[in-house]
Amino acid sequence: MSDSRTVHAPRIVSVSRDDQHRFSKPALDSIRLVEGWGVEGDAHAGVTVQHLSRVARNPSEPNLRQVHLIHSELFDEVAERGFTVRAGEMGENVTTSGLDLLGLPVGTVLRLGHQARVRVTGLRNPCHQINGIAPALMNEMVLRMPDGTVVRKAGVMAVVLAGGVVHAGDMIGVELPEGAHEPLQPV
Protein backbone atom coordinates (compact mmCIF):
# COMPACT_ATOMS: atom_id res chain seq x y z
CA MET A 1 0.00 0.00 0.00
CA SER A 2 1.38 3.42 -0.94
CA ASP A 3 1.28 6.51 1.23
CA SER A 4 -0.62 9.35 -0.51
CA ARG A 5 1.76 11.82 1.14
CA THR A 6 4.83 10.54 -0.69
CA VAL A 7 7.31 13.35 -1.29
CA HIS A 8 8.06 14.05 -4.94
CA ALA A 9 10.14 16.53 -6.90
CA PRO A 10 8.68 20.03 -6.85
CA ARG A 11 6.45 20.73 -9.83
CA ILE A 12 3.80 23.06 -11.15
CA VAL A 13 0.26 21.73 -10.79
CA SER A 14 -1.58 24.59 -12.50
CA VAL A 15 -1.03 28.06 -13.98
CA SER A 16 -3.54 30.92 -14.04
CA ARG A 17 -3.92 34.54 -15.07
CA ASP A 18 -6.66 37.13 -15.44
CA ASP A 19 -6.59 40.47 -17.23
CA GLN A 20 -9.16 41.87 -14.77
CA HIS A 21 -8.83 42.67 -11.07
CA ARG A 22 -10.96 39.75 -9.93
CA PHE A 23 -10.04 37.60 -6.96
CA SER A 24 -9.92 34.21 -8.70
CA LYS A 25 -8.02 33.50 -11.92
CA PRO A 26 -8.95 30.89 -14.55
CA ALA A 27 -6.56 27.99 -15.00
CA LEU A 28 -4.81 27.84 -18.38
CA ASP A 29 -2.52 25.44 -20.22
CA SER A 30 0.38 27.88 -19.97
CA ILE A 31 1.34 31.41 -18.97
CA ARG A 32 4.22 33.59 -20.13
CA LEU A 33 6.39 35.31 -17.54
CA VAL A 34 8.04 38.56 -18.62
CA GLU A 35 11.26 39.71 -16.96
CA GLY A 36 10.69 42.61 -14.55
CA TRP A 37 6.98 42.69 -15.39
CA GLY A 38 5.14 39.55 -14.25
CA VAL A 39 2.60 37.34 -15.99
CA GLU A 40 1.83 38.58 -19.49
CA GLY A 41 -1.83 39.60 -19.67
CA ASP A 42 -2.38 39.51 -15.90
CA ALA A 43 -3.92 42.53 -14.15
CA HIS A 44 -1.23 42.38 -11.44
CA ALA A 45 1.74 42.58 -13.84
CA GLY A 46 3.84 45.72 -13.90
CA VAL A 47 6.98 47.41 -12.66
CA THR A 48 5.05 49.29 -9.98
CA VAL A 49 2.31 47.96 -7.68
CA GLN A 50 -0.88 46.82 -9.38
CA HIS A 51 -2.92 45.54 -6.43
CA LEU A 52 -5.65 48.17 -6.12
CA SER A 53 -5.31 48.72 -2.36
CA ARG A 54 -1.57 49.30 -2.75
CA VAL A 55 -1.99 51.59 -5.77
CA ALA A 56 -4.29 53.77 -3.65
CA ARG A 57 -1.56 54.13 -0.99
CA ASN A 58 1.50 54.62 -3.22
CA PRO A 59 1.23 54.01 -6.98
CA SER A 60 5.00 54.37 -7.52
CA GLU A 61 5.93 51.60 -5.06
CA PRO A 62 7.92 48.76 -6.73
CA ASN A 63 5.83 45.70 -7.57
CA LEU A 64 7.15 42.90 -5.35
CA ARG A 65 3.98 40.91 -6.14
CA GLN A 66 4.39 40.20 -9.88
CA VAL A 67 3.77 36.46 -9.48
CA HIS A 68 1.69 34.77 -6.76
CA LEU A 69 2.50 31.12 -5.93
CA ILE A 70 0.47 28.80 -3.67
CA HIS A 71 1.23 25.23 -2.63
CA SER A 72 -1.52 22.73 -3.55
CA GLU A 73 -0.96 21.02 -0.21
CA LEU A 74 -2.84 23.97 1.33
CA PHE A 75 -5.93 22.92 -0.63
CA ASP A 76 -5.58 19.38 0.74
CA GLU A 77 -5.22 20.77 4.27
CA VAL A 78 -8.37 22.89 4.11
CA ALA A 79 -10.28 20.05 2.39
CA GLU A 80 -9.81 18.04 5.59
CA ARG A 81 -11.86 20.78 7.30
CA GLY A 82 -14.60 20.76 4.67
CA PHE A 83 -13.42 23.49 2.28
CA THR A 84 -13.08 22.96 -1.47
CA VAL A 85 -10.51 25.21 -3.14
CA ARG A 86 -9.38 24.74 -6.74
CA ALA A 87 -6.22 25.97 -8.44
CA GLY A 88 -6.50 29.66 -9.33
CA GLU A 89 -9.38 30.37 -6.94
CA MET A 90 -7.10 32.04 -4.39
CA GLY A 91 -5.81 34.38 -7.10
CA GLU A 92 -2.49 32.62 -7.60
CA ASN A 93 -0.65 32.47 -10.91
CA VAL A 94 1.27 29.28 -10.11
CA THR A 95 0.03 26.37 -8.03
CA THR A 96 2.89 24.15 -6.84
CA SER A 97 3.30 20.70 -5.35
CA GLY A 98 6.15 19.17 -3.37
CA LEU A 99 7.71 22.47 -2.28
CA ASP A 100 7.47 24.16 1.14
CA LEU A 101 6.92 27.65 -0.24
CA LEU A 102 6.24 29.19 3.16
CA GLY A 103 9.55 27.87 4.52
CA LEU A 104 11.69 29.46 1.80
CA PRO A 105 13.91 32.41 2.72
CA VAL A 106 13.66 35.84 1.09
CA GLY A 107 15.61 35.90 -2.17
CA THR A 108 15.13 32.24 -3.08
CA VAL A 109 15.16 31.81 -6.86
CA LEU A 110 12.70 29.34 -8.34
CA ARG A 111 13.26 27.95 -11.82
CA LEU A 112 9.84 27.40 -13.34
CA GLY A 113 10.02 25.10 -16.35
CA HIS A 114 12.87 25.44 -18.82
CA GLN A 115 13.50 29.19 -18.88
CA ALA A 116 11.56 31.25 -16.34
CA ARG A 117 13.09 32.28 -13.03
CA VAL A 118 11.43 34.19 -10.20
CA ARG A 119 12.83 35.59 -6.95
CA VAL A 120 10.67 35.13 -3.86
CA THR A 121 10.04 38.49 -2.19
CA GLY A 122 7.71 37.60 0.68
CA LEU A 123 4.43 36.20 1.91
CA ARG A 124 1.03 36.99 0.53
CA ASN A 125 -1.00 38.72 3.21
CA PRO A 126 -4.43 37.07 2.90
CA CYS A 127 -7.47 39.34 2.68
CA HIS A 128 -11.17 39.08 3.47
CA GLN A 129 -11.97 38.27 -0.21
CA ILE A 130 -10.94 34.69 0.59
CA ASN A 131 -14.27 34.31 2.37
CA GLY A 132 -15.91 34.79 -1.04
CA ILE A 133 -14.74 31.27 -1.91
CA ALA A 134 -16.31 29.87 1.25
CA PRO A 135 -17.47 31.54 4.50
CA ALA A 136 -14.79 31.32 7.22
CA LEU A 137 -12.07 30.12 4.81
CA MET A 138 -10.00 33.16 5.83
CA ASN A 139 -9.76 31.65 9.32
CA GLU A 140 -7.77 28.79 7.77
CA MET A 141 -5.31 31.17 6.07
CA VAL A 142 -4.08 33.04 9.16
CA LEU A 143 -3.20 31.26 12.38
CA ARG A 144 -2.00 32.70 15.67
CA MET A 145 0.39 30.38 17.47
CA PRO A 146 0.42 30.11 21.30
CA ASP A 147 3.55 32.31 21.41
CA GLY A 148 1.71 35.04 19.46
CA THR A 149 3.44 34.35 16.14
CA VAL A 150 1.15 34.88 13.16
CA VAL A 151 1.35 32.25 10.40
CA ARG A 152 0.13 33.35 6.97
CA LYS A 153 -0.55 30.38 4.71
CA ALA A 154 -1.89 31.97 1.48
CA GLY A 155 1.29 31.58 -0.56
CA VAL A 156 4.27 33.66 -1.56
CA MET A 157 4.95 36.52 -3.93
CA ALA A 158 7.80 36.84 -6.42
CA VAL A 159 9.31 39.02 -9.13
CA VAL A 160 10.34 37.73 -12.55
CA LEU A 161 14.10 37.55 -13.13
CA ALA A 162 13.96 35.68 -16.46
CA GLY A 163 10.94 35.24 -18.68
CA GLY A 164 9.58 32.17 -20.37
CA VAL A 165 6.51 30.04 -20.90
CA VAL A 166 5.40 28.00 -17.89
CA HIS A 167 3.10 24.97 -18.13
CA ALA A 168 1.23 22.79 -15.68
CA GLY A 169 3.45 19.75 -15.10
CA ASP A 170 6.74 21.69 -15.38
CA MET A 171 9.37 20.97 -12.77
CA ILE A 172 10.54 23.58 -10.22
CA GLY A 173 14.19 24.09 -9.32
CA VAL A 174 15.18 25.84 -6.08
CA GLU A 175 18.25 28.05 -5.57
CA LEU A 176 18.59 29.21 -1.97
CA PRO A 177 20.34 32.54 -1.36
CA GLU A 178 23.89 32.56 -0.02
CA GLY A 179 24.59 33.68 3.52
CA ALA A 180 22.15 33.99 6.39
CA HIS A 181 18.57 33.21 5.42
CA GLU A 182 15.94 35.84 6.16
CA PRO A 183 12.44 34.46 6.86
CA LEU A 184 9.59 35.62 4.64
CA GLN A 185 7.45 38.55 5.77
CA PRO A 186 4.27 39.92 4.13
CA VAL A 187 4.85 42.10 1.05
Q: Which domains does the chain have, with CATH numbers?
A: 11-175 (2.40.33.20)
Round to whole Å and give the CA distance between 25 and 136: 20
With 0-12 / 13-18 / 19 or more C-beta atoms within 10 angstroms meaning exposed / middle / buried, residue 83 is middle
Round to whole Å and give the CA distance between 143 and 139: 7
- Residue 37: other Cβ atoms inside 10 A: 18
| Strand partners for 172 | 112
Report pLDDT for 56.
Answer: 82
Tallying the residues shown for the chain, one arrives at 187
Predicted TM-score (pTM) of this structure:
0.93
Round to whole Å and give the CA distance between 70 and 114: 20
What parts of the chain have a pLDDT lower than 50?
1-4
With 0-12 / 13-18 / 19 or more C-beta atoms within 10 angstroms meaning exposed / middle / buried, residue 147 is exposed
Report pLDDT for 53.
Answer: 81
Q: Give the strand order in the sheet containing 164-167.
A: 38-39, 30-34, 164-167
Report pLDDT for 6.
Answer: 55
Round to whole Å and give the CA distance between 155 and 59: 23
Report pLDDT for 52.
Answer: 78
Round to whole Å and give the CA distance between 95 and 93: 7
Report pLDDT for 57.
Answer: 87
Do residues 156 and 69 touch, judged by C-beta distance below 8 A? yes
